[in-house]
Amino acid sequence: MGSEFDLVILDYHLSQGNGVNCLRIIRQHNPTVAVIAISGVATDEIAADLIEAGADDYLAKQTLDKKCSPKACATC
């Protein structure tokens, strides 16, 4: 029996791959869980890849202490 989650906070850079690949696996197993992706390397391309793969929102780590995305906060 698998665990159910309300929210996944997913980093783009993982030790054994990247967040896009992990996100695709998450979406295969749970297409409705809220996913907020974060990255320390904030590029438009990475953000677009994560959103296209199914992330509900994207936050750059540099902004986490300065602001919270309204969409991300509403997701929680």
Q: What is the dihedral of CA 25, 14, 4, 72, to 10 degrees?
A: -100
Q: Are strands 17-18 and 13-14 parallel, antiparallel or unpaired?
A: antiparallel
Question: CA-to-CA distance for 73 and 45, rounded, in angstroms?
Answer: 23
Strands (E) across 1-76 are located at 7-11, 13-14, 17-18, 34-39, 57-60
Q: Is the pLDDT of residue 56 over 90?
A: yes
pLDDT for the residue 54: 93
pLDDT for the residue 74: 60
Residues 6+ apart with CB under 8 A from 45: none
pLDDT digits (tens, 9 = 90+) for 1-17: 355 788 999 998 888 88
